[in-house]
Amino acid sequence: MTDSNGPGTLLFWIDQWTPATAVRWEVPMATAESPVPGFRRAPDRRPRVVLLDVFDTMVRLDTLRGRFVDVGRPEHESELFIARAMRDGIALAMAGPPGRFVPLVREVLRATTGHKLSEEALDHVLEGFRSLPPHPDVEFALVTLAKAKIPVYAFAYGGDRGAAAALDRAGLRTYLRGTVSSDELRAFRPAAEAYLLACQQVHAEPDRVAMVTAHTWDVHGAIRAGLVGGLATRLEGGVPRTIEAPHVYADSVDEVVDRLLALPA
């Protein structure tokens, strides 16, 4: 249970029962309202550069299900695999060191499938990342940004070559100024370092860079790092109360971009 202990603080009570007695531990639990040293929210301003998340924002991950079926695994393991990969990436962002994302994903896939797949079968599933189809709203968003003369960079997990191959096949790379990858930065989102290093790479101040994503944890991390946050809610269905409020949000990526461009210059 929780109890109040002053402004912006919650106490999380843990009851540990033993045969003789009960011991109650009092552990501070952070909240979205808790102040973080050095955190300054970016003002609501039209961005000069846009970082666009790749997987499940630009391209669809649900088509990986067929790859699982191809190697004799149930298709629902695809969702579990993606969730575990994101979990481990976030854990490494917090605890370090980040290392390279592709080897991490391979080991997550091996564990998720019960260590029953051959190396060739693992390769077959992972090759699916290079041929993911685009979400239909993304090209509209990219065309709008191109007309507004705002450069867009894909912000990807893994290496930039793998992301570039996926975006080439999806027909989206032609709209991009470039690709920023976690392997190149040696940092995983949602650690603030990842977003700030990306801003350095695109030569823009964080408060003039917008992170557009379909992941609530991602937009939260970007905002806490001082970027402008744009959330497409089509993946998760809404904005949870536990994250920093996005500067703009809408169901689709193109609507998010329209709202970013409508912000004051």
| Model pLDDT, residue 37 | 56
What DSSP assignment string belongs to the chain?
A: -EEE-STT-EEEEEEEE-SS-EEEEEEEE--TTS--TT--PPPS---SEEEEE-BTTTB-SGGGHHHHHHTT--TTHHHHHHHHHHHHHHHHHHHS----HHHHHHHHHHHHTTT-S-HHHHHHHHHGGGGPPBPHHHHHHHHHHHHTT--EEEEESS-HHHHHHHHHHTT-GGG-SEEEEHHHHT--TTSHHHHHHHHHHTT--GGGEEEEES-HHHHHHHHHTT-EEEEETTTTSS--TTSPPPSEEESSHHHHHHHHHTS--
5-26 confidence digits (pLDDT tens): 333 333 333 333 333 333 333 3
123-177 confidence digits (pLDDT tens): 999 999 989 999 999 999 999 999 999 999 999 987 767 778 889 988 999 999 9
31-75 confidence digits (pLDDT tens): 334 334 568 999 999 999 999 999 999 999 999 999 999 999 999
| Model pLDDT, residue 183 | 86
CATH architecture group of domain 49-60+133-261: 3-Layer(aba) Sandwich (3.40)
Sketch the domain layout of the chain as residue ranges: 1-30, 49-60+133-261, 62-130
| Model pLDDT, residue 6 | 39
194-237 confidence digits (pLDDT tens): 999 999 999 999 999 999 999 999 999 999 999 999 999 999 99
| Model pLDDT, residue 99 | 75
